[in-house]
């Protein structure tokens, strides 16, 4: 029974199942909002997409290294910016399900108008960034920093887009400017497995494990400038990726 998932037909069946699950999950979130509120509805129901994928598609995920973080972060009393490499479109839902504390993404404002995905993003409290011009983008980053200081955890892919080769792309500076403005720790992470399970340009799912490996936090205040901060975080993510791939 397990072998059918590794065939081309099985990959198509799994992809169709995953796509069909999206509206079911989103409608479940929307129906729950009047009773429990947006945040609880999303984080109570949203992770079931990745959990269902782990069960039906044999794509299990595991979180490692969480114990490396200070207690205040583990218990959600200290807001942070999680930064991870980006191998696949499946990375966001896997991270939502894997992280023990609620964390939102930063996305361009156009995403909020996309059916289902935009509705789920609204429920989650995603921070939308207006990139239409430099002044609006700067103002959006400042507003995002205020929300983080107010208690939101954020997940950022500093590469800006997913890798097409499995190797990390150059980092963009926006997330590090945000971390400096918000003055909160950056938690480096490695998300490994997505490039094999769903590589860029493919719609076929493949079975296999996902590993999310967490590193020790990096404090922006301990680095002389944004470039030094970015280099330190990149180095740590590279080490975590190597550790996850060899373990």
CATH topology assigned to domain 60-246: Glycerol-3-phosphate (1)-acyltransferase (3.40.1130)
Asked if 216 and 83 count as a contact pair (C-beta separation under 8 A), the reply is no
CA distances from 15 to 1, 12, 56, 114 (A): 17, 5, 11, 20
> How far apart (Å, rounded) are the C-alpha atoms in residues 154 and 141?
12
H or E element at residue 64? strand 61-64
The tokens of 177 are what?
């400017």
Domain ranges within the chain, ordered by starting residue? 60-246
pLDDT of residue 87: 94
Cβ partners under 8 Å of residue 9, min gap 6: none
Query: Tens of pLDDT along the chain (247 residues)?
Result: 457 888 888 988 998 999 999 999 999 999 999 999 999 999 999 999 999 999 999 999 999 999 999 999 999 999 999 999 999 999 999 999 999 999 999 888 888 889 999 999 999 999 888 777 677 777 878 888 999 999 999 999 999 889 988 899 999 998 999 999 999 999 999 999 999 999 888 888 999 999 999 999 999 999 999 999 999 999 999 999 999 998 7
H or E element at residue 242? helix 226-246
Residue 212, helix vs strand vs coil: strand
| Closest to 30 measured CA to CA, from 41, 19, 40, 39 | 41
pLDDT of residue 240: 98
pLDDT of residue 1: 46
Asked if 188 and 152 count as a contact pair (C-beta separation under 8 A), the reply is no
Asked if 189 and 63 count as a contact pair (C-beta separation under 8 A), the reply is no
Place of tokens 């796509």: 19
Q: Write down the pTM of the prediction.
A: 0.94
Residue 217, helix vs strand vs coil: coil
Q: Concatenate the DSSP letters of all residues of 219-232 into one string.
A: -GGGSSSHHHHHHH
What single-letter DSSP state applies at residue 115? T
| Closest to 156 measured CA to CA, from 107, 227, 215 | 107
pLDDT of residue 9: 86
What single-letter DSSP state applies at residue 7? S
């Amino acid at each position: 029974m397990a072998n059918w998932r590794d065939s081309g037909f099985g990959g198509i069946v799994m992809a169709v199942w995953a796509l069909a699950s999206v509206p079911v999950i989103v409608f479940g979130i929307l129906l729950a909002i009047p009773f429990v509120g947006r945040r609880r509805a999303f984080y109570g129901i949203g992770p079931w997409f990745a959990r269902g994928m782990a069960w039906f598609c044999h794509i299990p995920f595991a979180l490692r290294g969480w114990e490396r973080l200070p207690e205040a972060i583990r218990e959600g009393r200290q807001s942070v910016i999680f930064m991870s490499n980006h191998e696949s479109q499946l990375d966001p839902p896997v991270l939502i399900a894997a992280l023990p504390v609620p964390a939102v993404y930063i996305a361009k404002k156009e995403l909020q108008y996309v059916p289902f995905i935009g509705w789920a993003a609204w429920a989650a409290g995603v921070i939308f960034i207006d990139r239409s011009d430099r002044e609006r983008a700067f103002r959006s980053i400042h507003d995002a920093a205020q929300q983080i200081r107010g208690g939101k955890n954020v997940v950022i892919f500093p590469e800006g887009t997913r890798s097409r080769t499995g190797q990390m792309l150059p980092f963009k500076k926006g997330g590090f400017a945000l971390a400096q403005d918000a003055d909160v720790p950056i938690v480096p992470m490695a998300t490994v497995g997505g490039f094999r399970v769903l590589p860029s340009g493919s719609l076929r799912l493949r079975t296999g494990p996902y590993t999310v490996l967490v590193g020790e936090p990096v404090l922006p205040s301990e680095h002389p400038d944004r470039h030094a901060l970015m280099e330190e975080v990149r180095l740590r993510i590279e080490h975590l990726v190597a550790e996850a791939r060899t373990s």
